[in-house]
Amino acid sequence: MGTVNVSLPGEMVKKMDRIIKEESYASRSELVRDALRGLFGEVSWKSRSEGVSLAVVTMSFNIEGKGTLNEVGRTEHRYEHLILTSLHNHMGKNCLEIILARGTAEDIKELIRQLRAIRGVETIRVTVV
């Protein structure tokens, strides 16, 4: 196993240590390895252009944004050939939308690009199988 030295701001180290304790990681190294595995999977998927992917798209958006909810709905309808199901939940002035999509990596990436372009969308996270 190789060794890599990384300099991080103190606040990041504090957050890492809190996560290690809360999530029962064995060490900082194990936390970094886990984070890198996730990054490698995401980068690998983004560069893939063939085959079928199954993706969970988790998105939060501000419901008070003018037309945000309608635009999210319109976009989901345009991509209904990819979307297997979705779950919507309210969190005060924000909403959480979870979308299960199946299709080519390129088609799913385009769905994500369209969702990111909507004013009021705050975060999008993608998990791909």
Confidence at 19, pLDDT banded by 50, 70, 90: very high
Mean pLDDT of the chain: 89
Q: Can you give the pLDDT at residue 46?
A: 66
**Termini Cα distance of the chain:** 27
pLDDT at site 37? 84
Query: How high is the pLDDT of residue 26?
Result: 93
Q: Is 98 exposed, middle or buried (0-12, 13-18, 19+ CB in 10 A)?
A: middle
Give me the pLDDT at residue 128, please.
Answer: 83
Q: pLDDT per residue over 21-73, tens digit each?
A: 999 999 999 999 988 887 787 777 666 667 788 999 999 998 887 889 899 99
| Structure tokens that stand for 115 in this block | 């969702």
Surface-to-core class of residue 39, CB atoms within 10 Å of its CB (0-12 exposed, 13-18 middle, 19+ buried): exposed
Its pTM stands at 0.69
Instruction: Assign domain 52-128 one CATH number from 3.20.20.70, 3.30.70.1150, 3.30.930.10, 3.30.70.20.
Output: 3.30.70.1150
